[in-house]
Chain A
Amino acid sequence: MTRQMTGAKMVVQALIDQGVDTVFGYPGGAVLPIYDEVFQQNSIKHILVRHEQGAVHAAEGYARATGKPGVCLVTSGPGATNAVTGLTDALMDSIPIIVLTGQVPTFMIGSDAFQEADTVGITRPCTKHNWLVKETDALSGVLHEAFHVATAGRPGPVLVDIPKDVQFATGNYQTKKPSTSHYKPQIKGDMEAITELVAAIETAKRPVFYTGGGVINSGPAASQLLRELVEATGFPITSTLMGLGSYPASGDKWIGMLGMHGLYEANMVMHDCDLMINIGARFDDRITGRIDAFSPNSIKAHVDIDPSSINKVIKADIPIVGDVAHVLEDVLKVWKSRGRKTNDGAVSKWWGQINEWKTVDCLKFEQKGKTIKPQYALSRLEALTKDHDRYICTEVGQHQMWAAQYLNFEDPNRWMTSGGLGTMGYGFPASIGVQMGHPDALVINVAGEASWLMNMQELGTAMQFNLPVKQFILNNERLGMVRQWQELLHGERYSHSWSESLPDFVKLAEAFGAKGIICSDPDDLDDAILEMINYDGPVLFDCLVEKHENCFPMIPSGKAHNEMLLGEADTQGVIDAKGSVLV
């Protein structure tokens, strides 16, 4: 069915047809016709951010917390270039977002017009795909296709660049219909490989499930099937930063997050296992540590919807290209039909070893004296918020790792963090997006003071739209992770890694009309956290913590999983020259 309408109207119509209810954006000259249409409708809520980077991170937060694609609308030139960090972040973490940018009119493209940038050129390497639409008749088709590409297969960010004359002109609008695009990623896994994996499951003596963000991206069914498989086999399960929540932290097969700041037992299991079942993770360098010492004696199965993830870093013995939920369903089916066998004796011996590793209690800390330890702050936050309908975002750095270690996630889509790109400034706008998707939930952004300041302007957004996001800032007046690396690697020369001239966060909050809370005494912490939770509106919580606390456990750069540092005593001269060039 086709209808005649302007390009600008098509944009709004396509968003409605795609089921979009929320758009994060910022107007400007080249998107004025679209904003005029946004003004004249009530189906879509528009959230005015204070910076385009905030719009993209908010859309990411919305997408991750709801499972629906996030949508941004920004103007040409600086609007588009400000979106680049968010696009790259979404690409690295496989988050489906659609960014619509205005562009100068087609007849001015290439003339260095006011607010002109080669947006599709600039964003080509940081989007899954992008389009410059030069004809109004083509616009609706491209918009629908953009949603298909963003969400199909391995999700990712897409961008549609729309010149202003295309927005003004009238053309045919095509309603949404099933995609006829040749872009159809493989969903079903190869049955032969799945059978091979089942055979390996039946005989494995020291198996482990190593799961990642792919489980969450695959949808709630994937998490459900994963839980079923883990319970049925009794195998231990660890997860990457991106995959937290797909298996509940309270589950008795859970051995904690793995990787550079993962748990001791999780990394030891990865090192010593004989069957590694990678489901939707990508052997990132934060996970593997030294490649040639990575899990030397295991058969590695790798389930991934993106063929390029397989054999990219670690050779897969049993590669399975497919969607996690589909593959897990088939694995369960085949495993059950073959009699639900596992090597029980060996696996229970393996659990004996794992329980021994657990006694190391690698996350233990001691809260002494009158200074709040960041680990203590997060333990209390966990204790006081775990029974709420809770969503957690983070910025990037030490606080992010502590949040991953000390907060427990029972369900998928409740943990929003910038994993691949490591974008400081992600968490606050992301929390705004999450709150838009879940207006009644408790949304907390665990932040460091330096990261938080990177997108602090969004406090205006939170106030304007009455989004009661809680900003839990672990303030150590340092770029904590940078400082930690300088201590370990650069002779304790702390080059520019402290936060000077910090604002008074309470006054800053009040200046925007939000609530500010400051807490420096461990004895006051519980009351202060409760005050934050119970306040109906945005809160800036300035939690003054120990300034020189380091984040442990840690696999130093260039080391293997079984060479973890468990505390300060282990740190002398641990990273050699070869390791120090790694990031």
Chain B
Amino acid sequence: MSALKLKKGSTSHSAYNLRPTFSDVVEKHTLAVLVENEPGVLARVIGLFSGRGYNIESLTVAEVDHQGHLSRITIVTTGTPQVIEQIKAQLGRIVSVHEVHDLTVEGPSVERELAMFKVSGKGDKRVEALRLADIFRANVVDSTLETFVFEITGAPEKIDAFADLMRPLGLTQVARTGVAALPRGD
């Protein structure tokens, strides 16, 4: 349901209207956008963000329903409440977009990201990298005598923390998928 259909000051629907619409505070929101899986649909969404000057912190996209011909785009974006509302409304008017969900305000959700880290080093550093990887439940997916490739899954903050720890230990390359997110419960 669109926030715009909700009345000002009403508390029965959702948390939407408890946020002042024209506040200056920049918020981070995770949006789940269900789109028709057709050529050009990602360009439409990205073009909207660049054309109207919105931010993209991360973006993931893949087909999620082969039969229904649907893809799910998960976008992490930042903006004032007015900008966030505008982004959702603008996404909603793209003809190929079926649904727009703001996971940040629609109730609790879980976010996960996958990342791969290549760490190269010898001796103590190599041992320390392996030990920290174990603490973070990162898997070793490739190894040479001088390098590891770790695979780690988690909330973006956990991956940031792991990257910070690996940097002094010889981090050479990083690949991150961006956030995938789903609402909790029903």
Contact = CB atoms under 8 A, between A and B. Distances in A.
A433 interface: no
A190 B5 contact: yes
Nearest to A189: B5
A310 to B, nearest CB: 5
Contacts of A306: 89, 93
B21 to A, nearest CB: 6
Contacts of B47: 124-125
Given A124-B43, A128-B95, A315-B22, A193 B85 contact: no
B4 A132 contact: no
Given A125-B47, A306-B93, A311 B39 contact: no
Contacts of B4: 307, 310-311, 319, 321
B2 A311 contact: no
Nearest to A185: B93
Nearest to B50: A125
A308 B8 CA distance: 17
Contacts of B94: 129
B7 interface: yes
Contacts of A196: 7
B7 to A, nearest CB: 6
Contacts, number: 53
A121 interface: yes
B44 A124 contact: yes
Contacts of A121: 40, 43
A132 B43 CA distance: 14
A570 interface: no
A183 B94 CA distance: 9
B51 interface: yes
Interface in A152-190: 154, 182-183, 190
A467 interface: no
B90 interface: yes
A182 B68 CA distance: 12
A357 to B, nearest CB: 30
A410 B93 CA distance: 33
Interface in B23-49: 36, 39-40, 43-44, 47
Contact of A310 (B39, B40, B89): B89
B2 A321 contact: yes
B21 A312 contact: no
B95 A315 contact: no
B173 interface: no
A344 interface: no
Interface string B63-104: 000000000000000000010011001101111101000000
A307 B4 CA distance: 7
A307 B95 contact: no
Contact of A193 (B7, B39, B89): B7
Contacts of A308: 86, 89-90, 92-93
A546 to B, nearest CB: 41
Nearest to B48: A125
B13 to A, nearest CB: 11
A67 to B, nearest CB: 22
Contacts of A312: 86, 89
A142 to B, nearest CB: 11
Interface residues of B, number: 25
B2 A132 contact: no
A192 interface: yes
Interface string A205-238: 0000000000000000000000000000000000
A56 interface: no
Given A125-B47, A149-B95, A315-B21, A307 B7 contact: no
Given A306-B93, A321-B2, A321-B5, A311 B40 contact: no
A311 B21 contact: yes
Contacts of A307: 2, 4, 89, 92-93
A138 to B, nearest CB: 11
Contacts of B2: 307, 321
A92 interface: no
B95 A132 contact: no
Nearest to A130: B40
A317 interface: yes
B98 A182 contact: yes
B5 A132 contact: no
Nearest to B95: A129
A508 interface: no
Nearest to B39: A132
B44 to A, nearest CB: 6
B69 to A, nearest CB: 11
Interface in B78-134: 82, 85-86, 89-90, 92-96, 98
B93 A125 contact: no
Interface string A186-206: 000010110010000000000
Contacts of A183: 95
Contacts of A319: 4
Interface in A299-327: 306-308, 310-312, 315, 317, 319, 321
Contact of B96 (A129, A154, A315): A129
A125 B39 CA distance: 15
Contacts of B51: 125
A341 B40 CA distance: 52
A315 B82 CA distance: 9
A311 B36 CA distance: 27
A485 to B, nearest CB: 25
Nearest to A120: B40
Nearest to A127: B95
A308 B97 CA distance: 14
A311 B89 CA distance: 10
Contacts of B92: 307-308
A311 B8 contact: no
B182 to A, nearest CB: 22
B44 A311 contact: no
A121 B98 CA distance: 21
Of B21, B51, B93, chain A has the most CB atoms within 10 Å of the CB of B93
30 contacts: A120-B40, A124-B40, A124-B44, A124-B47, A125-B47, A132-B40, A149-B95, A154-B93, A182-B36, A182-B98, A193-B5, A196-B7, A306-B89, A307-B4, A308-B86, A308-B89, A308-B90, A308-B92, A308-B93, A310-B89, A311-B4, A311-B21, A311-B82, A312-B86, A312-B89, A315-B22, A317-B8, A319-B4, A321-B2, A321-B4
Given A182-B98, A321-B4, 12 more contacts: A120-B40, A121-B40, A125-B47, A129-B95, A149-B95, A154-B93, A308-B89, A308-B92, A308-B93, A311-B21, A311-B82, A312-B86
